[in-house]
């Protein structure tokens, strides 16, 4: 049995590792569940350490030609170190992110998921955030803590 | 599992609370065709999506419906946020009221709301509307009252304990669970009660005489009556048959 003095460092390590695994899982989920046309929106999911906001920097490739539809490919992304369990912030750097996440309706583009060529169901982000993500976080953290004995 | 019953639990309070506004606000649900009204004409949309519907347990997957409810209300642009706030406030109150298990008897389902995100207000760039958006985590459970199963189990136990076969009680099928019970169910229950008394050489009582005089009644009345019959059956036999 470990001495009690070893428990706190273990706990911190487990939380640190757990946070990274949770962030990885959530970002991959967002990349998989979100709209995918040219791959631009998918590639712009970003992780910042701490509470640094993700700024919308990149405008849409416009107009998007039909031939630009590609099979979905999950691009790699970085998870920076977050010292002292400072947490992470996940966001998308596309300027049109609110439309792509169906948070603001628009009669153009994916039209809130109602466009005939929409590649994600409407309110996909809310559905994930409200009904899937909490469970994913719980299960990822639980699996990490199980490894520490 | 009934998605229709669950939808009714969440969508009805939203639709009702918007209809109660002055002037009433028409509300459109998912996959309902409508033409976006002209500028100044208010409307709302409600969209329920399911994210995870089951949870794994030792004995298999159990139903655990979790989803997301998004309500969007549209009002005139450039008139301030007051009307949008008026529209969304009763909706939020109605949804919060769900946590008191309203809707269970009416729809056969019970729903709860979790964290609410918003309301967020937007002046739309490319449409003549000011929008308020509310996103709510929801969870729900659908319970089939399944009185028929309970009655069938009671009949079997009655026959086994009595050492005989009481024969065919008229068979009915209850569907949907929230529908009024058909006449055959009353007849079948009455016959079972009579046989129970004869076999037990006693009178277990009326099982609610007042209720018996009417054929169509709520599931709740039948539940109460069946509960009592089950209790008496157990007490008279000196055992616990339960698990109906």
What ipTM score was computed for the predicted complex, to two decimals?
Answer: 0.75
User: Domains in chain B, please, with CATH?
Assistant: 3-142 (3.30.2000.20), 147-237 (no CATH)
Query: For residue range B134-178, what is the model confidence (pLDDT) as tens digits?
Result: 999 998 877 655 555 556 666 666 666 666 665 544 443 344 444
User: By the CB < 8 Å criterion, does A2 face chain B?
Assistant: no
User: By the CB < 8 Å criterion, does B50 face chain A?
Assistant: yes
Round to whole Å and give the CA distance between B101 and B20. 22
List CB contacts (< 8 A) between B66 and chain A: 130-132, 135
For residue B204, give the 3-state DSSP assignment: coil
CA distances from B149 to B24, B146, B223 (A): 44, 6, 12
Cβ pair B147, B219 in contact under 8 A: yes
Round to whole Å and give the CA distance between B9 and B141. 10
For residue B209, give the 3-state DSSP assignment: helix
Contact B133 A103 (CB under 8 A): yes
Q: What are phi and psi of B207, to 5 degrees?
A: 50, 50
Average pLDDT of the segment spanning A123-127: 92
Q: What are phi and psi of A91, to 5 degrees?
A: -160, 175
Q: Is the peptide bond before B119 cis (omega within 30 degrees of 0)?
A: yes
pLDDT at A119 over 70: yes
> What part of A 94-133 touches B (C-beta under 8 Å)?
103-108, 121-123, 126-132
Q: What is the pTM of this model?
A: 0.67
pLDDT at B74 over 60: yes
pLDDT at B63: 72
How many domains are there within chain A? 1
Domain boundaries, position A136: 4-147
Which one, of B62, B230, B60, lies nearest residue B149 by Cα?
Answer: B230
> What part of B 79-118 touches A (C-beta under 8 Å)?
114-115, 117
Please, where are the H alpha helices in B108-182? 147-162
Which one, of B167, B166, B12, B171, lies nearest residue B94 by Cα?
Answer: B12
Binned at pLDDT 50, 70 and 90, residue B69 comes out as very high
Q: Is the peptide bond before A63 cis (omega within 30 degrees of 0)?
A: yes
Average pLDDT of the segment spanning A35-55: 89
Round to whole Å and give the CA distance between B154 and B149. 9
Average pLDDT of the segment spanning A52-71: 75
């Amino acid at each position: 049995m470990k001495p009690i003095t070893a428990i706190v460092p273990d706990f911190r390590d487990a939380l640190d590792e757990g946070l990274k695994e949770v962030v990885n899982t959530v970002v991959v989920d967002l990349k998989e569940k979100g709209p995918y046309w040219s791959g631009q929106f998918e590639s712009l999911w970003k992780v910042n350490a701490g509470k640094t906001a993700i700024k919308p920097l990149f405008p849409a490739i416009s107009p998007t030609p039909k031939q630009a539809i590609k099979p979905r490919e999950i691009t790699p992304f970085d998870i920076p170190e977050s010292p002292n369990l400072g947490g992470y912030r996940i966001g998308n750097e596309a300027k049109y992110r609110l439309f792509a996440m169906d948070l603001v309706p628009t009669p153009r583009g994916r039209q809130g998921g109602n466009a005939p060529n929409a590649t994600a169901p409407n309110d996909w982000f809310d559905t994930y955030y409200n009904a899937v993500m909490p469970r994913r976080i719980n299960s990822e953290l639980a699996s990490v803590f199980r490894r520490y004995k | 599992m009934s998605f229709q019953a669950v939808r009714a639990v969440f969508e009805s309070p939203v639709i009702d609370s918007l209809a109660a506004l002055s002037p009433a606000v028409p509300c459109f649900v998912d996959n309902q065709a409508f033409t976006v009204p002209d500028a100044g004409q208010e409307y709302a949309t409600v969209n329920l999506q399911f994210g995870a519907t089951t949870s794994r347990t030792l004995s298999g997957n159990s139903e655990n419906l979790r989803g997301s409810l998004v309500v969007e209300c549209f009002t005139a642009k450039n008139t301030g946020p007051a009307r949008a706030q008026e529209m969304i406030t009763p909706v939020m109150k109605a949804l919060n009221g769900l946590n008191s298990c309203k809707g269970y008897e009416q729809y056969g389902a019970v729903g709860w709301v979790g964290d609410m995100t918003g309301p967020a207000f937007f002046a739309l760039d490319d449409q003549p509307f000011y929008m308020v958006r509310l996103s709510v985590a929801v969870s729900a459970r659908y319970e089939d009252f399944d009185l028929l199963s309970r009655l069938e189990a009671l009949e079997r136990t009655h026959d086994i304990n009595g050492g005989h076969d009481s024969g065919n009680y008229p068979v009915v099928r209850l569907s949907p669970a929230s529908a009024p019970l058909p006449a055959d169910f009353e007849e079948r229950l009455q016959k079972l009660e009579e046989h129970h008394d004869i076999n037990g050489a006693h009178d277990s009582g009326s099982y609610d005489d007042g209720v018996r005089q009417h054929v169509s009644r709520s599931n709740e009345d039948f539940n109460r009556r069946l509960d009592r019959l089950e209790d008496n059956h157990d007490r008279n036999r000196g055992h616990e048959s339960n698990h109906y």
